Amino acid sequence: MLFGLGFVQSRAGWRFGIDALLLARHLSHGPAQVPGGDRAFRMLEVGTGCGVVSILAVAWGFPGRIDAVECQPALADRARRNVAAAGMDDRILVVQADAAALTDDGARFDRIASNPPFHRRGHGRPNPDPERCLARHDSSLDMAGLFALAADRLAPDGLLSVMYPASRLEAARLAASRAGLIVVGVTPCGHGADGPTRVVILDAAFPGRGSERLHPRVPMARNAFLDTLGARH
């Protein structure tokens, strides 16, 4: 159980960690939260895994509908089961598909979110478990492809929120620029007040939304992170 919700996960394959909770918080009542609680908002989550980011975002206050896309059939099945168990079938639609090959039905999203694989293809030691390997290393949708997809599917005033290791921040800025987007927000996340930044959550949008803003650091240690969620959680 997590925050009163049960999540089906693999015993041996990919399992979510604190990164997913950080992104869900960012979307629900962090820098990417929807102003005014507009239930007409739509979000696309790319690479939902077992659905934890979308489910927690809704549980913590994201008001709109979510299309949660996952390319691995086993993970998509777990996501559907978790969405059903949370009673959120009317809010979250799980789509088993390769996001890079999604048919463009004309829908444009107010939010696009992703906690993509942290490692570039060919870098780092690949995990022998295929499910974990796909979750940790770029496959059909690399960084450039993710930003290009966002540029195609974002509403004119939409926002992309994506999480990467701090070491890939400059590469992400460049990928955003090449896709016709600009980084408008950076949220550093790390352990301890003085510890190094481990990951960053980038918010990107079309030009005209403003200059880049550095948001307050979010702690990754469990108790400190829980404090950032407020009394209602």
Query: In this structure, is residue 153 part of a structural domain?
Result: yes
198-223 residue pLDDT tens: 999 999 999 998 899 999 999 988 78
pLDDT of amino acid 132: 47
| Secondary structure class of 203 (helix, strand, coil) | strand
Domain coverage including residue 34: 18-165
Query: What is the pLDDT averaged over residues 152-157?
Result: 96
CB-based contact 73:96 (threshold 8 Å): yes
Residue 110 in any domain: the answer is yes
Asked whether residue 128 is domain-assigned, the answer is: yes
Distance CA 37, CA 39 (A): 6
Specify the number of domains making up the chain. 1
> Residue 232 pLDDT more than 80?
no
Q: Cα–Cα distance between 135 and 132 in angstroms, integer?
A: 5
Residue range 6-17: mean pLDDT, rounded: 77
- Residue 45 resides in a domain: yes
Tell me the one-letter amino acid at 125. R
What's the start-to-end Cα distance of the chain, in Å? 14
The pLDDT assigned to 88 comes to: 97
pLDDT in tens, 103-149: 898 999 999 999 998 555 554 555 444 544 454 444 668 999 999 99
131: left (phi over 0), alpha (psi -120 to 50) or beta: alpha
- Average pLDDT of the segment spanning 171-186: 98
Which pTM value belongs to this model? Answer: 0.87
The domain that contains 64 carries what CATH number?
3.40.50.150
**225 in a domain, yes or no?**
no
For residue 202, the model assigns a pLDDT of 98
Structure tokens at 177: 């620029």
pLDDT in tens, 59-102: 999 999 999 999 999 999 999 999 999 999 999 999 999 998 88
Q: What is the C-alpha to C-alpha distance for residues 58 and 41, in angstroms, rounded to an integer?
A: 12
User: What pLDDT sits at residue 131?
Assistant: 45
Q: Is residue 179 part of a domain?
A: no
